[in-house]
Structure formats: structure tokens, C-alpha cells
Amino acid sequence: MAELIKDRYSPSFFNQFIKILKSAYPAFDENQFLTFIYNGEWEQLEFKQRIRHITLALRESLPQPYDTSIEILLTIAPKCKGVEYLFFPDFVEVYGLDHWETSIIALEQFTKYSSSEFAVRPFILKDETEMMIQMQQWAFDEDEHIRRLASEGCRPRLPWAPVLTTLKEDPTPILPILKTLKEDPSLYVRKSVANNLNDISKDHPNLLKQIVREWRGKHPHTDWILKHASRSLLKKGDVEILQLFGYTSAANIGVQNFTLSCDQLSLGETLTFSFDIITESIESQNLRIEYGIDFMKANGKQTRKIFHLSQKTYPSGTTHLTREHVFKNLTTRKHYEGVHGICILVNGEEKVKDEFNLIMK
């Protein structure tokens, strides 16, 4: 079984962290800290809950003046890298809202070693105008982690974080930051810009289309961002966004010989399917090919999930395609027994569909 991310907080992790912490603050009471950590609730806590629990334990064990605690954490931060150390910026989120200048410096530094994308959001909620000015400044920083924070921290729909309601309703304050970063040399930053724009597209699809029209074709980095940012609209088969990326009507495209490896399978098994793409035009055609699975849900209804299969220029004639899909439970998807649908979409248009039965062993 794969390791759960919450289990990275092992006794060996805490022993190493305490060693690092005591190098900067020898008076640190490790017994008090560990007693607080391993209370009666620790085993039931999930990853983000454990982050907050460690934050609270640190507050009990570090010097009470906030500035003093932050100074200690800043000293050891370069030795504390990785997602496990998200409790550094979380400490700022919980205790630093009334210490603006100190906290901004801390968020800027901590994001280099873990990420301040969650911790920055309460500061946006407290003073959106001032914080967005700060994030615009971060967008020009030499460090890619700080530039990414400028984009990631203000995503309206950042996963694992509360929605930024005002920016969700009106993303205008975000746009100068994204414009600054639209040609960023770092893929790490460009992914964040694309994810931010994808968030925006879910509430303001026409705004994303406008941005695609204005930005596209001027820089390869920007073109990559725009394509990735448009993935939700592309999966929905939005005709306008498909056309903006050169995916015209698939009326002259056929799908034949759609075959499933079985009509019934068990959870944990793999469904193999194949089909032929028939391009009737004498010219090659730019095609986005996807498959959709209509998953049976607990309420007895089906919900479709779209999966990318191919996007490239297809020649005239017949092209054979084969794909496998493994049916196993994920943290983001639980399977239920019953009839499932599977379809093939070309440039957003459903071309063929079949059904199969999923059973639980």
C-alpha cells in the first residue's frame, strides 16, 4: 500500500526536526512539544489537520513573542524543505495577521522551501488591496517560488483552500499578476498561471476566451499556458474555445469499429477499448480526441468524466487507436457497481458510445 502523505510525520521526522530546531533555539522543550503532538487525537488527524496541530504545538513550545518565534523559524527554514514543512507558513497564517510586515517577509521566505499558497489567503481576505499589490511585486521576483506564490496564492478556487469569493466574482485584480507572468521562463510558474486562468474560466468563460484572443500567438510559453488554462472548457466541448485552438467541426470525421475488451469487469481490472478514426477530408485535420466514462454514482445516476486521449494532426484515411483504463478507487474517485457508459469524442463531439457493467468482488 502506498504511503499516505500524513504518515510522513513519523517519529523519525520529528526527531530530525527537533534536532534542527534546537540548533537555533537550544531551550526548545522537546518533551512538551512531543506530548502535545501525540495527544489522543493525533492518529485520527488527516494531513492538513496535522499541519495545524503541529502549528499549535510549536506555539506552545517556542518563545511567545511572535517576532521571536518567526526569527527562529526563518533561521532554520533552509534546512526544512518539502511539503512536510507546510506548518512553517501555517504558523504565519494562524498567528501573524496582526504582524503584517513580519509576516510578509516570512511568507516570502517560507514559500521557497515548502509553499505559502494557503497561508497567504487570510491576508488577502483581511486586506485584498494591499495584499494584491504585494503579490504583484512578488511577480517580478528573481526566485521562481516567490513568483509562483504571486499566482498560486490568489487562485480563486485553489484546492484544499477556502474560495476567495470576491476574486471569484471579479477576477480583475488577478489579471495584472498573470499578465506579468505569462511568458515566465519557469514551467513551475507557468503551470500556476494556467491553473489560475482555468479557475477563472469556470466562472467567467468569456473572459478566458478574450484573454486567449489577446495573448495567443505571441510567445510559445504563453501559448502553452493558454492551452493548459483552457482544459476545462475544451473538455466541455465549448465550440468557441475549440475553434480558437484550431479544432473545427468534426462533421467529416467518423469513428468506426469501436470495440471493448469485455462487457463486464471487476473493480481493479482493466478495460481495453479500440476504434478507428476515419478522416474523410483529403487534407490532414487537427483533432482533439477524448474518451468519456459515465461513472455510476451512489445515487444510481451516472456522472461523466472526460479523459484526454490524443491531440494532433491526423492524415486523411483511417487511424487505429487503442487505450486502456484501469478501474480502481482513488482518493478523488470511488467506484460503484452498475452499468457504466463509455464514449469517444472528437473535437468535443460525441461520435460513438457503448456500455459495460462494473461489479465489486
Model confidence pLDDT, tens digit, residues 11-22: 999 999 999 999
pLDDT at 248 over 90: no
Model confidence pLDDT, tens digit, residues 130-176: 999 999 999 999 999 999 999 999 999 999 899 999 999 999 999 99
Helix, strand or coil for residue 298?
A: coil
Q: Say what the pLDDT of residue 336 is.
A: 95
pLDDT at 43 over 70: yes
Residue 249 banded pLDDT, cuts 50, 70, 90: confident
87 vs 76: CA distance, rounded Å: 13
pLDDT at 2 over 70: no
Model confidence pLDDT, tens digit, residues 296-324: 999 999 999 999 999 999 999 999 999 99
Residue 92: name the closest of 80, 82, 107, 78 by CA. Answer: 107
Q: What residues form DSSP beta bridges with 120? A: none
pLDDT at 128 over 70: yes
Q: Say what the pLDDT of residue 77 is.
A: 98
Give whole-number Cα distances, 141 to 86, 146, 189, 210, in Å: 21, 6, 12, 27
Model confidence pLDDT, tens digit, residues 72-90: 999 999 999 999 999 999 9
What's the whole-number mean pLDDT along residues 18-34?
Answer: 96
Residue 331 banded pLDDT, cuts 50, 70, 90: confident
Task: Work out the end-to-end distance of the chain between its first and last CA atoms, rounded to an integer number of angstroms.
Answer: 19
The reported pTM is 0.87
Could you count the other beta carbons within 10 Å of the beta carbon of residue 5?
14
Model confidence pLDDT, tens digit, residues 101-115: 999 999 999 999 999
